[in-house]
Amino acid sequence: MNEALRLHLIDGVTIGSLGSRASSALGPTAPLADSTRVPMSVIVADTADMLSGLGGDIAGVALAELPAMVSVPSIDPVATNPIGWRATPDPPVLRGDSAGSPPTQTLARAHHVEDWTDPSADAAERAGELAAAAALGAVICIPAGDTALEDCLGSELHGLMSDAERIRTADEHEREVLSIAMRRAALRDHSRRGRAGQVLSEAGVEAPLIPSVSVLVATRRPHRLADVVATLGRQTYPRLEAVVGLHGTGFDSQQAEAQLAELPYPSRTVNVAEDRALGEVLNAALASAQGTLIAKFDDDDEYGPHHLWDLVLAAEFSGAASVGKASEYVYLAEADRTVRRFAGFGERRIDPQRHSVAGGATLFQRDALDAARGWRAMNVGEDKEILRDIAAQSGTVYRTHGSGYLLMRHGHDHTWAAADSYFLEQASDSRSGCDRRFAGVS
Q: Which phi and psi (to 5°) does residue 25 adopt?
A: -65, -30
Task: Write out pLDDT tens, residues 269-298.
Answer: 999 999 999 999 999 999 999 999 999 999
| Mean of the per-residue pLDDT values of the chain | 91
Verify that 344 and 303 share a domain, yes or no. yes
How confident is the model at residue 63, as a pLDDT?
95
Over residues 11-32, the pLDDT tens digits come to 888 899 999 999 999 998 765 5
What does the alpha-carbon distance between residue 181 and residue 280 come to, in Å, rounded to a whole number?
36
Q: Quick check: is 257 in a domain?
A: yes
pLDDT confidence bin for 415, thresholds 50/70/90? low
Residue 261 reports pLDDT greater than 60 = yes
pLDDT(417) > 80: no
- Boundary of a domain, candidates 173, 202, 231: 202
Residue 46: predicted pLDDT: 95
Residues 108 and 12 in one domain: no
* CA pair distance 380, 68, nearest whole angstrom: 51
Question: Are 348 and 410 in a shared domain?
Answer: yes
Determine if the pTM surpasses 0.85: yes
Average confidence (pLDDT) over 63-74? 96
The reported pLDDT for the residue numbered 375 is 97
Q: At what angle do helices 253-260 and 225-233 cross, to 10 degrees?
A: 20
pLDDT score recorded for residue 400: 98
Together in a domain, 144 and 245: no
Percent of the chain with pLDDT over 90: 78
Does 110 share its domain with 177?
Answer: yes
Q: Give residue 394's region: left, alpha or beta (phi > 0; psi -120 to 50).
A: left
Residue 296 resides in a domain:
yes
Helices and strands of the chain, counted as H and E runs: 16, 21
Arithmetic mean of pLDDT, 48-56: 79
Residues 153 and 299 in one domain: no
232 and 181 within one domain: no
Instruction: Say if 372 falls within a structural domain.
Output: yes
Per-residue DSSP letters for 418-438?
--HHHHHHH-SEEEES--HHH
Last residue of a domain, one of 169, 202, 235: 202
Mean pLDDT, rounded, for 111-140: 95
Based on the structure, what is the number of domains in the chain?
3
**Is 382 inside a domain boundary?**
yes
Which residues constitute the domain of residue 15?
5-73+196-202
CA atoms within 13 A on the CB side of 131: 36
Residue 108, domain member (yes or no): yes
- Is residue 85 assigned to a domain? no
Say whether both 25 and 120 belong to one domain.
no
Most confident of 244-253, 316-325, 389-398: 316-325
CATH number of the domain within which 271 lies: 3.90.550.10
**DSSP result, 5-34:** EEEEEETTEEEEEESHHHHHHH---EE-S-
Domain for residue 284, yes or no?
yes
The more confident residue out of 424 and 69 is 69
pLDDT value of position 385: 95
* Number of C-beta neighbours around residue 415 at 10 A: 13
Query: What residues contact residue 272 under an 8 Å CB cut-off, 6+ apart?
Result: 245, 246, 247, 248, 280, 281, 284
Paired sense of beta strands 93-95 and 112-114, if any: parallel
100 confidence band (pLDDT: 50, 70, 90): low
Do 125 and 218 share a structural domain?
no
Q: Give the C-alpha distances (Å, rounded to integers) separating 136 from 139, 198, 437.
A: 9, 22, 24
Q: Is residue 88 part of a domain?
A: no
Residue 96 is predicted with a pLDDT of: 65
* 288 and 141 part of one domain: no
Same domain for 120 and 60 = no
Per-residue pLDDT, 426: 79
Higher pLDDT, 5 or 191: 191
Same domain, 154 and 223: no
Select from 202, 235, 265 the last residue of a domain. Answer: 202
The pLDDT of 166-195, averaged and rounded, is 97
Compute the average pLDDT of residues 170-180: 97
